[in-house]
Amino acid sequence: AQSVTQLGSHVSVSEGALVLLRCNYSSSVPPYLFWYVQYPNQGLQLLLKYTSAATLVKGINGFEAEFKKSETSFHLTKTSAHMSDAAEYFCAVSFSGGYQKVTFGTGTKLQVIP
């Protein structure tokens, strides 16, 4: 069965520092991978997705993620954290080529310290 594991339920970074949120997936076939962000008391917003094209995917708000098949990873990064990045981030996987059947990770809460 497909699954994703997010390492670290809470991550704290200083404003201006590198953001690194980890995601590893389990899959026997090439997956589609997604990162979502959820701001407090809001719904989810898609940050970026990997669909078997370029392995380095750029998303919104300066985030990017790199698909590494050998490591079964899809870590999310941002070079310089901003206070507005404080939110919960979810990694997700799908084999269906779209959003039909999606399995989410348990989430990582990002705290940005001024």
CA atoms within 13 A on the CB side of 10: 4
Nearer to other proteins among residue 10 and residue 113 (C-beta): 10
Distance between CA 63 and CA 95 in Å, rounded?
Answer: 23
100 lies in the site for other proteins, by CB under 8 A: yes
Query: Least CB distance from residue 15 to other proteins, whole Å?
Result: 24
- The stretch near other proteins (CB under 8 A) out of 11-19, 21-29, 43-51, 69-77 is 43-51
Instruction: Give me the 46-75 binding string for other proteins, x by CB under 8 A, dash otherwise.
Output: xxxx-x-x-----xx---------------
77 lies in the site for other proteins, by CB under 8 A: no
Distance between CA 108 and CA 6 in Å, rounded?
Answer: 7
Distance of CA 68 to the CA centre of its chain: 13
10 lies in the site for other proteins, by CB under 8 A: no
Query: Least CB distance from residue 99 to other proteins, whole Å?
Result: 4
- Give the closest residue to 11 by CA, choosing from 101, 76, 67: 76
- The stretch near other proteins (CB under 8 A) out of 18-26, 39-47, 66-74, 75-83 is 39-47
- Give the closest residue to 110 by CA, choosing from 3, 4, 5, 6: 6
